[in-house]
């Protein structure tokens, strides 16, 4: 308030000087002092001119500052004017709002970063008259549903009609339900849909959250099994190590001459048995540890046909032994960026499963095909066996689950983990009684 009074005081003094100058000039003209009167008017002119530029600059600076504040443009630099105490309040207001704006921008960046790193699809709509605009769409929603970050509800509806129809049916009100959505022609996936509506500063917002039930279940399931496998590996290895050490000591004892021949033979047999068993258990544990300690893929560019041919060549003796005909229907030339050893292991696991599935079939055949679309390669391996029973369809990728007496139950689990580590997915289908395994990989 005091600073504003100072500004008015300066203007008032200028007016007093101008009025006084005019009065003195008139007085000089009346006394016949023409030259002095003209000089007085010239001084008045200079005072009026100075006051004009003072007021103009004052008004322009205020207009510029207020315009910057209204437009949220805080890039202007008023440093050269800060020596003038008349503008202190104005610059204090400007700096205060600038700091608040910078703080708000920082918070927005942090909040958006948090939302973009959450593995939940988030869309926030804002009501504009009779339509809705996309106020925010996080990266997970955009990438998981393959939807560009559109700005209008009608554009989102074109991309995800199933989801949008459910929301419209409830008239953009609170929703909590499940919805099945097909993404990129994959299998239907089930999502938990939660939506709420809120009003903030007279603006209407509608918040949509989508969580994949499969992803949540599979992640918890995988984490649980990994922890279990780590415990099993630790405990078994702690038991195997001392057993092997004892066996080694016993093996040294049998070389002593004081033992009878019969005792010596018994000890030798026991030692050999214990060593064989410990070696078997050690290999058994190492097989399970592969799931918990799967190395990161060492990717390299490789031609798909070459990768398939290598796998068929490795499996050819087993195919001939079991009288299985293999058809490679891949005719195009495509490249993939993968860890060739890991992917070969997946393909060999699937082809080995085909051999067991065809055990009781007279005319045995395995078909390998591939398709390229939407920047992805889809590899399909099928056989003419009896297919997977419906009762176990949802269990085949679980660790340790197997229908074979000699099976370890980690082949498909390991294959699934390898493909997911490559940014792809593996799924099985039942087509006309035939089992089809489909691998999706990113095309190079």
The pLDDT tens digits for 113-138 are: 888 888 788 888 998 888 888 888 88
Q: CA end-to-end span of the chain, whole Å? A: 69
pLDDT band of residue 293 (cuts 50, 70, 90) is low
* Residue 181 predicted with pLDDT over 80: no
Q: Could you name the CATH architecture of 115-213?
A: 2-Layer Sandwich (3.30)
Residues 53-94 pLDDT 10s: 777 777 777 777 777 767 666 666 666 555 555 566 666 777
Q: Are 308 and 330 in contact (CB under 8 A)?
A: yes
Which tokens in the block code for residue 185?
């022609």
Per-residue pLDDT at 4 exceeds 70: no
The span from the CA of 223 to the CA of 225, in Å, is: 6
| Pairwise CA distance, residues 151 & 137, whole Å | 9
3-class secondary-structure state, position 272: helix
Q: Where does CATH 3.30.565.10 sit in the chain? A: 300-442
| Per-residue pLDDT reduced to its tens digit, 249-260 | 677 766 666 766
Burial label for 17, CB within 10 Å (0-12, 13-18, 19+), is middle
CATH of domain 217-292: 1.10.287
Q: Where in the chain are all domains bearing CATH 1.10.287?
A: 217-292
CB 153 within 8 A of CB 130: no
Phi-psi region of 239 (alpha: psi -120 to 50; beta: other; left: phi over 0): alpha
Residue 1 confidence class, pLDDT cut points 50, 70, 90: very low
What's the average model confidence in pLDDT over 264-283? 68
Q: Of 119-133, 175-189, 322-336, give the lowest mean pLDDT range.
A: 175-189
Helix (H, G, I), strand (E, B) or coil at 136: strand
Helices (H) and strands (E) in the chain, counts: 11, 12
Q: For the chain, give every residue range classified as CATH 3.30.450.20.
A: 115-213
Task: Indicate the range of 182-186, 303-307, 358-362 predicted with least confidence.
Answer: 182-186
Candidate CATH numbers 3.40.640.10, 3.40.47.10, 3.30.565.10, 3.40.50.880; the one for domain 300-442: 3.30.565.10
Continuous segment of H or E residues that includes residue 10: helix 2-30
Q: Angle at CA 320, nearest 5°, toward 317 and 323? A: 150
Distance CA 411, CA 434 (A): 20
Of 41-50, 307-316, 343-352, least confident by mean pLDDT is 41-50
pLDDT at 405 over 60: no
Give the predicted TM-score (pTM) of the model: 0.42
What distance in Å separates the CA atoms of residue 420 and residue 4, rounded to the nearest whole number?
Answer: 69
pLDDT at 3: 46
To the nearest 10 degrees (0 to 180), the angle between helices 88-116 and 2-30 is: 140
Which of 76-90, 140-154, 213-227 is most confident?
A: 140-154
Best mean pLDDT range from 88-102, 321-335, 406-420, 430-444: 321-335
- What is d(CA 120, CA 195) in angstroms, rounded to the nearest whole number? 13
């Amino acid at each position: 308030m005091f600073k504003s009074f100072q500004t008015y005081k300066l203007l008032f003094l200028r007016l007093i000087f101008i009025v006084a100058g005019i009065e003195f000039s008139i007085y000089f003209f009346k006394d016949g002092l023409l030259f002095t009167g003209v000089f007085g008017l010239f001084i008045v002119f200079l005072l009026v001119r100075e006051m004009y530029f003072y007021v103009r600059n004052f008004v322009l600076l205020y207009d510029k500052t207020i315009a910057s504040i209204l437009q949220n443009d805080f890039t202007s630099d008023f440093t050269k004017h800060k020596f003038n105490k008349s503008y202190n309040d104005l610059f204090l207001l400007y700096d205060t709002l600038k700091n608040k704006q910078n703080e708000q921008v920082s918070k927005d960046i942090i909040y958006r970063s948090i939302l973009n790193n959450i593995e939940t699809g988030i869309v926030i709509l804002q009501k504009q008259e009779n339509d809705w605009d996309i106020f925010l769409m996080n990266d997970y929603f955009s990438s998981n549903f393959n939807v560009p970050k559109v700005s209008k509800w009608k554009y989102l509806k074109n991309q995800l009609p199933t989801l949008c129809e459910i929301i419209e049916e409830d008239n953009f009100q609170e929703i909590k339900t499940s919805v099945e959505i097909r993404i990129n022609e994959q299998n239907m996936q089930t999502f938990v849909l939660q939506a709420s509506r809120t009003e903030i500063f007279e603006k209407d917002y509608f918040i949509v959250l989508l969580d994949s039930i499969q992803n949540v279940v599979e992640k918890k399931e995988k984490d649980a099994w990994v922890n279990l496998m780590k415990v099993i590996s630790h405990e078994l290895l702690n038991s195997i190590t001392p057993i092997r050490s004892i066996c080694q000591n016993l093996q040294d004892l049998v070389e002593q001459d004081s033992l009878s021949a019969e005792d010596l033979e018994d000890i030798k047999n026991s030692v050999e048995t214990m060593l064989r068993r410990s070696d078997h258990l050690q290999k058994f544990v190492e097989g399970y540890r592969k799931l918990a300690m799967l190395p990161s893929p060492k990717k390299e560019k490789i031609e798909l046909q070459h990768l398939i041919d290598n796998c068929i060549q490795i499996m050819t003796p087993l195919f001939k032994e079991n009288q299985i005909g293999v058809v490679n229907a891949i005719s195009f030339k495509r490249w993939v960026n993968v860890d060739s050893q890991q992917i070969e292991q997946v393909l060999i696991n699937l082809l080995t499963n085909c051999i067991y599935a065809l055990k009781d079939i007279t005319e045995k055949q395995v078909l390998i095909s591939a398709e390229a679309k939407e920047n992805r390669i889809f590899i399909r391996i099928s056989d003419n066996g009896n297919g997977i029973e419906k009762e176990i369809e949802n269990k085949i990728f679980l660790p340790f689950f197997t229908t074979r007496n000699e099976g370890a139950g980690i082949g498909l689990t390991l294959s699934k983990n390898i493909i997911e580590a490559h940014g792809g997915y593996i799924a099985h289908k039942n087509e006309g009684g035939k089992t089809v395994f489909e691998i999706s990989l990113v095309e190079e």
